[in-house]
Structure 1
């Protein structure tokens, strides 16, 4: 039976210099709500919270069978001081990437800071932490920590574009994956390149809307995306809206997942209690009820990691499927499929549909922070884009790979999802029960049935350069940041920016 895993992860900062927010009250209230609703979960401590007895004196008294304590690995001034590293942040903690992100520091300093964090945690609690989170991780740090401390789980930020200076695009979209030693945002392709601690994707991202939230046809992707996620502070759409929470929990845990379903709930304390109060006071009793009804399973973060490690030797294929839309007057459906080789997103809008997103995973493509340091307010983690329906939209053109017939986009009336095996999904778009297009999504290839041609569209002015460089009959070539990669047509053929079926079938693999 598939497991529906929910992690409650609240992380604690020791300071919030930007406002006069009371950062103690959120911690106390989160703790109260978890106790009242008998919810298990995890608190992750940033170094300045780890050295604050206000937090640690309370946390040491909590029952370990209900509450896990781990670490949040952002850099603060007090973590730099022992190593003679000059702190240039505006405050003792500064959210700009060149100060807070581990990728801003040399390998030697990253290791020393990790050792200091783990050593001082053990001094306080008597054991090493089993879980670690950060908005952004770097491959060197997590490989080092996994090998030295054998942690059970990591968690990092959802995919997003520009939010808070963090751009993470093209990653394994939900659930969890084993990261590569060359790119922590990429699932490892082999035993040799794999870091043996899974990374769980945080925040409960809206599978329909978060991806291109704020995008417009003319201007393209919002350069600083706002958020539609399970975080309780978002009261316009997201975790602060009860109807959205109900929709998300129903769709995310609908059993259509291939491997297991997953979400992370909770909130960092720096948002303040007033901002998260209504959302958490709705969510936590709901989680308690759903757990009693055996619809979800509450785990600590490290427990989720141990489950993953004992169940999957390699990154499993997974899906996220939404059969309904929470927005009044809208009618979107979506399927996210991820394997260790690629991800693809199918999106319908009323009676039309398209391939909205395709990224390839290849751990020969290295993350920036193995060869350079982050020196800007913004940081970037990414993979290899074939199609990005958010970033490639612009100049009045909606980006995607569109099904066309006789020069027109085809329409459909129903979407059907099935699971053919533990790693293969089948998605069919039907028009009055007649097949328009059928996708068989398996770990190493995409098969498309139907007589549609598929047209690649991208805007003329986009947030990042379009990577498609050219096609031949059996191959499409791409270049991203100097790295060359390709798709191969095993059946059907490329014709310029179109894919043409052969006898009603297309088969595409990595080149």
Structure 2
């Protein structure tokens, strides 16, 4: 009976035990699916997560208290993770917010967010586009500004950062960073890592498309979307991507595609939850390559308000993922450099039949019919000129801007030819023992045609500082030869001081700076000391004079009347012939007048002209490219 009873009891308990085991397995699988990222061969590669939280000025936050940033920081601490906080310029002017950032522990990295604000523009003496939404690409990205303006904006930001934290940042970010700005920042401030947005064709008026699909790489110096293919063209800054895209579903135009990403606000809008985050993150961390990395974060004070709960879910899943290291952007750059001392030659990514095959020459996905070829010698036009469009169009692959550039190594031959011409004239005038004439001719060529001589071919573009000309090298050679001939002919036919020929171009510097307007019942006349600073006089109809020395709002600075030299450079005949001819005539007239003037007068005039022409030549050397073809 005991034996039977034991068997009966055992038989009664078996179904319960099996049910319990099955239930436990199901719960375990569910728990693992929601809390831990799976990965094939997870111990065979280096796996990293980089938490990045962009922090804009609080004027853009939904909740302007410190609660949003405190909530994100607490979530980071609770899960024992590191993070990079990219701060916009306005944050550095916010005493309360920057003091809170200084309280963060050593596991947090502070970098800079390169989005341009009106406050930053004003501090940099750069005109911010008036009446433009802050998120417009022509206002918020450095590519919306001239090269000289970008340098001032960058320097203002980095110097303010150093003033605040006593060091320069090593990590930067923005949804778009043009390669001119990236090169400048790297060369001057030695950054290590940069973040840009992952591929999206049209989302938020930003079209960025063609880089390696959501994986890190070293870019070429010409184009941040093109992977480096040699040490020579490599920019030594590791690019990581924001909002890593679903390798299958994110391929397409519009938010209905790009919102399939690792961003909490994106995938929640698609009806997804943390299990989707785990699935996509696992596809990137599955050790298909030697090194795997994902970027996770929320825009502080904006998306972080509504999605902080899901952000906590993400961090918990990351914390519980085995063999996953949380590193800052600059730390990841160091890990990446150790793994790839030169640059990665290729990488791949497979997910649900969608296979991305990427190398330094192309990327392709047969399932999605995607193919992008890379040319490390080509850039976008924003490398040289400001992009004032309302839509950011950075779509790869790039086609050559001008086929002539393909077959003619213009840059090398241009320099060699110009040096040869100057050398020949130098020898001729040396033999004739008239070096003064050589110096005058050289100065005249630079003063009259400096913008033409500065124009060049680079990265697939004809870059013009002055007029647009065909056969650039030939025209450059001709204007130098003509300049020396003009000086020689004037010497033969006119009895004037030949130094006046180049010196009279100093008047251009004065004309370029003159400003005038009528505002609020008063006339203003004076000079622009920079883009915003006006120095001069204001007076009403009753001639009540007031001295003015102040920075004007951008819309007023733009409204000031000035002589537009583009009217000259837009007309090839005017710029090549009429413009220098007017100055030659002025030099002849002035020379004739000064011959009869007292010595003190002509010495004073010469002194003033020497100063002005020096400023004129300096402005030519510092001029920004005007257009590209």
Q: Under TM normalisation by the shorter chain, which class is it?
A: 0.5 to 0.7
| Residue 299 of structure 2 corresponds to residue 299 of structure 1 | no
Structure 1, 368-377 or 25-34: larger mean CA deviation: 368-377
| Alpha carbons 2:53, 2:85 under 8 Å: kept | yes
Is 2:303 the partner of 1:275?
no
Q: Are residue 75 (structure 1) and residue 116 (structure 2) matched?
A: yes
* 2:207 corresponds to 1:167: yes
SS in 2 for 1:140: helix
Change (3 A) 1:222 1:36: closer
- Summarize the alignment of residues 108-257 of structure 1 with structure 2, pairs less than 5 Å apart: 108-212=148-252, 221-222=253-254, 226-236=258-268, 241-256=273-288
Unaligned runs of 5+ in 2: 1-43, 400-459, 463-629
Superposed CA offset, 1:440-470 (max 9, x none): xxxxxxxxxxxxxxxxxxxxxxxxxxxxxxx
Instruction: Provide closer, same or farther for how the CA distance between residues 165 and 89 of structure 1 changes in structure 2, counting only shifts above 3 A.
Output: farther
The TM-score, its normalising length taken from structure 2, stands at 0.54
- 8 Å CA contact 1:159, 1:169 repeated in 2: yes
SS in 2 for 1:269: coil
Q: In 2, Cα distance between the equivalents of 1:167 and 1:57?
A: 36
Secondary structure of residue in 1 paired with 2:50: strand
Partner SS, residue 182 of structure 2? helix
Partner residue of 2:386?
373
The answer to whether the aligner puts 1:260 opposite 2:282 as a matched pair is: no
Q: Does 1:342 align with 2:373?
A: no
Equivalent runs, 1:83-94 vs 2, <5 Å: 83-90=124-131, 94=134
CA shift digits 1:114-167 (9 cap, x unpaired) = 111111111111111110011000001110111111111111100001111110
Give the structure 1 partner of residue 88 of structure 2.
46
What's the counterpart of residue 375 of structure 2? 362
Alignment of 1:422-501 (within 5 A): none
Alpha-carbon distance between aligned partners in 1 of 2:267 and 2:360, rounded to the nearest angstrom: 35
Q: Note closer, same or farther for the CA distance 1:379–1:145 as it changes in structure 2 (3 Å cut).
A: same
1:381-396 paired onto structure 2 within 5 Å:
381-384=394-397
Number of the residue aligned with 1:315: 344
**Structure 1 residue matching 2:315: 3-state secondary structure:** helix
Counterparts in 2 of 1:58 and 1:7: CA distance versus 1, 3 Å:
same
Contact 2:192 2:238 in 1 (8 A): yes
| Deviation at residue 274 of structure 1 after TM alignment | 3.8
Q: Is the 8 A contact 1:358 1:385 kept in 2?
A: no
In the alignment, the residues of structure 1 paired with residue 183 and residue 142 of structure 2 have an alpha-carbon distance, to the nearest angstrom, of: 13
2:110 is aligned with 1:98: no
Return the TM-score normalized by structure 1.
0.66
More helix per residue: 2
Give the Cα separation in 2 of the matches to 1:147 and 1:35: 34
When residues 25 and 226 of structure 1 are mapped into structure 2, their CA distance, relative to the original with a 3 A threshold, is farther
Name which of 30, 40, 45 aligns with 1:2.
45
- Shift in Å, 1:240: 6.2
Higher strand share: 1
CA contact (8 A) 1:180 1:188 kept: yes
In structure 1, runs of 5+ residues without a counterpart are 213-220, 324-332, 348-354, 387-480, 484-511
Deviation (angstroms), 1:57: 0.7
Tell which structure's C-alpha radius of gyration is larger: 2
SS at structure 1 position matched to 2:180: helix
- For the 8 Å contact 1:203–1:263, the answer to whether it is kept is no
> Following TM superposition, by how much is the alpha carbon of 1:16 offset from its aligned partner in structure 2, in angstroms?
4.7
Asked if structure 1 preserves the Cα contact closer than 8 Å seen for 2:262 and 2:281, the reply is no
| Aligned position for 1:60 | 102
Matched, 1:33 2:75: yes
Q: Please say which of residues 95-104 and 371-380 is displaced more in the overlay.
A: 371-380
Q: How far, CA to CA, are the matches of 2:191 and 2:351 in structure 1?
A: 33
- RMSD after superposition: 2.4
Q: 1:223 offset after TM fit, Å?
A: 8.7
Paired residues of 1:177 and 1:316 also in contact (CA < 8 A)? no
Give distance in 1, aligned partners of 2:256 and 2:136: 14
